[in-house]
Amino acid sequence: MEFSQDDDRNNLSLSKFEDMLKTNHVLFFDSSEFETIIIHYLESGKISLAKKAIKLGLEQHPTSTALKLFKVETLIVEDKLDAAEALLNELYEIEPTNSEIYIQKASIFSRKDKNEEAIKSLLFALKVCDNEKDMVDIYALIGMEYLFLDQFENARSYFMKCLEANIHDYSAMYNIIYCFEHMEQNREAITFLNNYLNKNPYCEIGWHQLGIQYVAIKDYKKALTAFDFAIISDDTFIGAYLEKGKILEKQGFYKKAIENYEITLALDDPTSFALLRIGRCYEKLEQDDLAIQYYHKAIHEDPLLDKGWIAITKFHLKNQNYPKGLYYINKAINIDSNNVSYWKLYAEINHKLNFLEEAERGYKKTLELGNYELQTWLTRADILTTLGEFDSALNILNQALEFYTETPEIEFRLCGLYFLLGKKEEADFHLKNALKHNPEYISILKKLFPKVYTNSHIKNIIKIFKTTSD
């Protein structure tokens, strides 16, 4: 790689500036040197050093508009918008046709969620801008503001301008596809990408995106072809191998899927995703030893991978090895105690093992974490009923009724519990509600509350209902 004289000069300026910071001797730099130094620090995210360079630069070149604009940029980053706006107003009086002033004004509007005002400012910046590269940057900024407004058609048109100016602007391409997807225009995205690939046929990113669009419309044959072309364009493109693997796995070609996933492991450091998918494929092939081996590799690679822990747990449940399943779900909960899927599995396994107190604890935690599925409420209530905690079961079912009104599965249970607690009026009320909503669920009462079901009073209500409904 050859370095230009400009690179050497820039590196020299930077070294000179950093050497100066280590001493108390202030050196002189021309304004362009300061601009280079500031850009370097801003791009590196070293805001404090950029601010030092701006401060010293303005002391040596107090009339430099470029340095003042850098100061505006740092003020915006620090959310000092009023100060930034005041300085921009000063600069506007001096250079009203400087496009960067309008760009920074747009940045302030955007920070204040005034996206339409930001767009107006950027459109004016376009009018006064005479640099093609800067114009493309402005197109991208306008596109982003339209995205913030969910105006995807307008956003896409500006990102298109970016791509027309630079066919290798992949950021613009991704944003264009993002717009198509949000408008649910997968077929239009396919047309766009095919046209793009006619101009740039060896663009692996374009082929990869085309494949993803074909997957979205479930045309897996064309998707596979697109991913193959992405691999032809770049045989180290991991994303294409992963997508191929996912399609082949979906189609039941597990061995071929494994081959593609394994290529990704050879190309780069192993990913927990690929290891997990290989494990699933081996499980489908009934090669359990290899399946569990890859599941273990997946959680070793990423202990926070919930799908890995769930896969191992469910693997043992499938083989009815409940103690081992409980062992792994407990390990998962120790890593992430707020994962609702873990607690649901924990509850189910303990229920299978007839550890009712622990199962109830698991369902309780599942509900606390926001899993309000009807079956979760019902199962917890049934466990409490089995444990003889009728009041607690009633409380749970009444909470469930707030989410699932007119639900006979809840109403029949409430009838049984109220009757056992001697509250016959409430029991009658819920029994009549349950029969009105769906009498076929009477089996719940018969199974869970046999003594209630055979009670003459209850039998009489059921008999009256049948007579009147006939």
All domains of the chain in start order, with CATH:
1-96 (1.25.40), 372-470 (1.25.40.10)
Give yes or no for a contact between 377 and 392, defined as CB atoms under 8 angstroms apart.
no
Q: Is pTM, for the whole model, over 0.75?
A: yes
Q: What is the pLDDT of residues 342-360, one digit of tens each?
A: 999 999 999 999 999 999 9
Count other C-beta atoms under 10 Å from residue 150's C-beta.
Answer: 8
Nearest in space to 401 (alpha carbons), one of 428, 381, 384, 421: 381
d(CA 379, CA 367): 11
Tokens 């376009």 correspond to 126
Q: How far apart are CA 100 and CA 64, in angstroms?
A: 13
* DSSP character at residue 269: S
Selection from 192, 204, 133 nearest residue 165 by Cα: 133
The closest of 258, 310, 259, 264 to 284, measured between CA atoms, is 258
Handedness of CA 324, 326, 327, 331 (dihedral sign): positive
**How confident is the model at residue 1, as a pLDDT?**
34
Neighbours of 97 (CB within 10 A): 12
pLDDT at 434: 93
Four-CA torsion 350, 355, 357, 358, nearest 10 degrees: -30
Phi, psi of 355 (to 5 degrees): -90, 80
Question: Alpha-carbon distance 183 to 424, whole Å?
Answer: 57
| pLDDT value of residue 470 | 56
Q: Give the whole-angstrom CA distance, residue 203 versus residue 240.
A: 12
Q: 373, 338 in Cβ contact below 8 A? A: no
Residue bearing tokens 């079912």:
397
277 within 8 A of 268, measured Cβ to Cβ: no
Asked if residues 98 and 128 have their Cβ atoms less than 8 Å apart, the reply is: yes
422 φψ region: left (φ > 0), alpha (ψ -120 to 50), beta (else): left
The tokens for 405 are 């009104």
pLDDT, one tens digit for every residue, the chain (470 residues) = 343 445 556 667 778 888 787 787 778 888 888 888 888 888 888 888 888 888 888 888 988 888 889 888 888 988 899 999 999 988 988 889 999 999 999 999 999 999 999 999 999 999 999 888 889 999 999 999 999 999 999 999 999 999 999 999 999 999 999 999 999 999 999 999 999 999 999 999 999 999 999 999 999 999 999 999 999 999 999 999 999 999 999 999 999 999 999 999 999 999 999 999 999 999 999 999 999 999 999 999 999 999 999 999 999 999 999 999 999 999 999 999 999 999 999 999 999 999 999 999 999 999 999 999 999 999 999 999 999 999 999 999 999 999 999 899 999 999 999 999 999 999 999 999 999 999 999 999 999 999 999 999 999 998 888 887 75
Q: How far is CA 376 from CA 6, 199, 418, 445, 451, in A?
A: 67, 55, 21, 19, 25
CA angle, 404 then 405 then 411, to 5°: 95
CB atoms within 10 A of CB 4: 8
What is the model's pLDDT at position 7? 58
310, with CB counted inside 10 A (0-12, 13-18, 19+), is buried
Query: Do the Cβ atoms of 373 and 408 come closer than 8 Å?
Result: no
DSSP state of 23: S
Residue with tokens 């029991």: 427
**What whole-number distance in Å separates Cα of residue 300 and Cα of residue 283?**
19
Comparing C-alpha atoms, which of 408, 428, 404, 409 is closest to residue 418?
428
Cβ(107)–Cβ(87) below 8 Å: no
Alpha-carbon distance of 229 to 244, in angstroms, equals 11
